Amino acid sequence: MTAVPAKAGAPPGGARKKIRAWMETDVLVIGAGAAGMYAAIAAARGGARVLLVDRSLIGRGGATVMAQMTVAVAVGEEEPDHWEHHLADTLKAGRGLCDPALSQLLCEDGPDCIREMDGWGIGWARRDGHMAQVHAPGHDRKRCVYVDFLNTGPAVSKTLRARVQRMPEIRRVGDLLVTDIAVRDGVCVGAHAVHVSTGRAVPLAAKATIIATGGLTRLYARNSASINMGGDGYALALRAGAELIDMEFVQFFPIGHLAPRLVGMDPIMWDPFRYKLGGRLLNSDGREFLPEAGKYTSARDIATYGILKEVEAGRGSPHGGAWLSFQHCGEAELRSAFGPVIDRLAANGIDLTRQNIEVAPIAHYHMGGIRTDTDMRTSVPHLFAAGEAVGGANGANRLSGNAITEAVTFGRRAGARAAALASQTAMPALASARLDAKRPDLNPAAAIVELQRVMNRDVGPLRTAAGLQRALAHIQGLDVPLPAPHEGLDAEWVDIHDLRNMRLVAECVTRAALAREESRGAHQRDDFPEGDTRWQRRQAIRLEGNTCKLS
């Protein structure tokens, strides 16, 4: 077999003869959501040849495409604003645990990225000739831009995807699953991947590598994630020798859709309804239990806690959540606010003028992640990270609307810095790695479902030492080495791969949650219900041998 090196800069539509045995590039970007695509664009602008890979299709999977809501950015179009005000709100929401330098990067660079995407035709909603901005919980003013109707994430994906497609320096490859970062003498030299459709091993040599794989919400039974959000990037970084921080802080979105069954919609879709129309959150007695008076004002950690405490007290809705009511709105008002979405609800048998729906907290975002500096460098030389994969910017609780802003600002910074480093780096050689573990004797799809159930029950929004210990025992009982895939698409192998990463990342979350004997933001311990100033510090995790070491 002859190795055919890929030309990252080859023009689109060029001859494609066979699966390439290996590829090399200046900058490798893993993950094609908003962070990865913005990173690819910035790296290409910085003069690098870029290889943008995704385990799914380019610009279709990941979290970005699921984001139906808003983007927080101090563009000051609706009312005067400054990034320093956005920063103050971000730090406040983070409950004392933000890395202020990363938070500042998000807030300060946000307006530039949002205007750049405006120039690329994203179509931010406009009112009277300026960008429309709404007031989301936790913000001191109208700051959140959006694309109607419930189309923010898909519009971001589509816009960046169109941009990426136009840049011949960026080669895009889907169905390529990165199994490990390649490290030689402590330096990242690319990654090892498997071409999912054929099972072929594909080493990816790179002068600089960016992990942009998003978060870990697939660890939970109730999540708003795509299938790709099993914490791949955290596992890759850990095994490469990098450090993770704040792993215990998983944000549960308080009003995820619960019942009746709704398909064809993101389960967090009620959020923009609340921005525009208020809506009342009610317990089984029909009473508002948060101090909201029909407005949408409660921060996410507080609303999540409030709903679960109502359920615990026996005042939950039939499926174990709370009722959400828009019955104060007339049909015309609903239609003017949500247009075609009202028809999609009708197709699901839901008429908001006549019925309440049930909502409950759902795993939505991860504040923790890979430790980086403001150049997006991890502790492993030549390995960068961007987007949700990075920990620190949002502390113990993320402010509404900061996720896409984080993705684009961190992506842009990572791409520029990686390109600069690559320009001074020689192309590393990379040998093929052999996967030779024995295939585990279990149904990995079933083991994933069981792990998700355990995590939701014991490592969810309300935690106790006993529950966390029980989860840890379950996780430690799962030992999943990675065998070689069979030839062709080996769907079972993909699940084994995912279980291996999810198990490792679940252990990080659980250990960090067990150690933090206080309640703060998204981390709520029933056995330590108060915040403790001694815990106003972050925990870091490294892998030593096969053990997660907390410090």
The C-alpha R_g of the chain, in whole angstroms, comes to: 23
User: Which residue lies nearer to other proteins by CB, 180 or 518?
Assistant: 180
User: Is 171 a catalytic site residue?
Assistant: no
Per DSSP, helices labelled H in 166-282 are: 232-240, 270-277
User: Which residue lies nearer to other proteins by CB, 20 or 141?
Assistant: 20
Cβ atoms of residues 66 and 229 within 8 Å: no
Taking the complex as a whole, the smallest distance from the CB of residue 278 to other proteins amounts, in Å, to: 24
User: Which residue lies nearer to other proteins by CB, 163 or 371?
Assistant: 163
Taking the complex as a whole, the smallest distance from the CB of residue 216 to other proteins amounts, in Å, to: 15
Catalytic member of 218, 274, 300, 463: 300
Task: Return all residues near 510 (Cβ < 8 A) that are at least 6 apart.
Answer: 455, 458, 459, 468, 471, 472, 475
User: Which residue lies nearer to other proteins by CB, 4 or 313?
Assistant: 4
Work out the angle at residue 149's Cα, subtended by the Cα atoms of residues 146 and 153, and round it to the nearest 5 degrees: 55
User: Which residue lies nearer to other proteins by CB, 172 or 371?
Assistant: 172
Taking the complex as a whole, the smallest distance from the CB of residue 85 to other proteins amounts, in Å, to: 32
Taking the complex as a whole, the smallest distance from the CB of residue 202 to other proteins amounts, in Å, to: 7
Q: Which amino acid is at 342?
A: I
User: Which residue lies nearer to other proteins by CB, 101 or 449?
Assistant: 449
Rounded-to-integer distance, Cα 104 and Cα 393, Å: 8
User: Which residue lies nearer to other proteins by CB, 202 or 419?
Assistant: 202
Rounded-to-integer distance, Cα 533 and Cα 393, Å: 20
Taking the complex as a whole, the smallest distance from the CB of residue 65 to other proteins amounts, in Å, to: 5
Cβ atoms of residues 86 and 401 within 8 Å: no
User: Which residue lies nearer to other proteins by CB, 89 or 498?
Assistant: 498
Rounded-to-integer distance, Cα 124 and Cα 107, Å: 18
Q: At what angle do helices 100-119 and 402-422 cross, to 10 degrees?
A: 90
Per DSSP, helices labelled H in 31-135 are: 34-45, 83-93, 100-119
Catalog residues that contact other proteins under the rule CB under 8 A.
12-14, 16, 19-20, 56-58, 60-62, 65-66, 153-154, 172-176, 195, 197-198, 200, 202, 225-228, 260-261, 263-267, 348, 443-446, 449, 488-492, 495
Task: Return all residues near 275 (Cβ < 8 A) that are at least 6 apart.
Answer: 70, 134, 135, 136, 144, 296
Taking the complex as a whole, the smallest distance from the CB of residue 140 to other proteins amounts, in Å, to: 31
Taking the complex as a whole, the smallest distance from the CB of residue 262 to other proteins amounts, in Å, to: 8
Rounded-to-integer distance, Cα 302 and Cα 97, Å: 17
User: Which residue lies nearer to other proteins by CB, 107 or 352?
Assistant: 352
Q: Which amino acid is at 138?
A: G
Cβ atoms of residues 444 and 496 within 8 Å: yes
Rounded-to-integer distance, Cα 257 and Cα 30, Å: 31
Nearest to 463 by CA among 516, 518, 531, 526: 526
φ/ψ (deg, to 5) at 230: -90, 20
Instruction: Look at the block and give the residue holding tokens 């169109």.
Output: 162
DSSP H/E element including 221: none
Task: Return all residues near 106 (Cβ < 8 A) that are at least 6 apart.
Answer: 90, 393, 402, 405, 406, 409, 410
Rounded-to-integer distance, Cα 264 and Cα 373, Å: 39
Rounded-to-integer distance, Cα 17 and Cα 123, Å: 39
Taking the complex as a whole, the smallest distance from the CB of residue 380 to other proteins amounts, in Å, to: 26
Task: Return all residues near 336 (Cβ < 8 A) that are at least 6 apart.
Answer: none
Taking the complex as a whole, the smallest distance from the CB of residue 506 to other proteins amounts, in Å, to: 18
Residue 185: count other Cβ atoms within 10 Å of its Cβ: 6
Catalytic residue numbers read 300
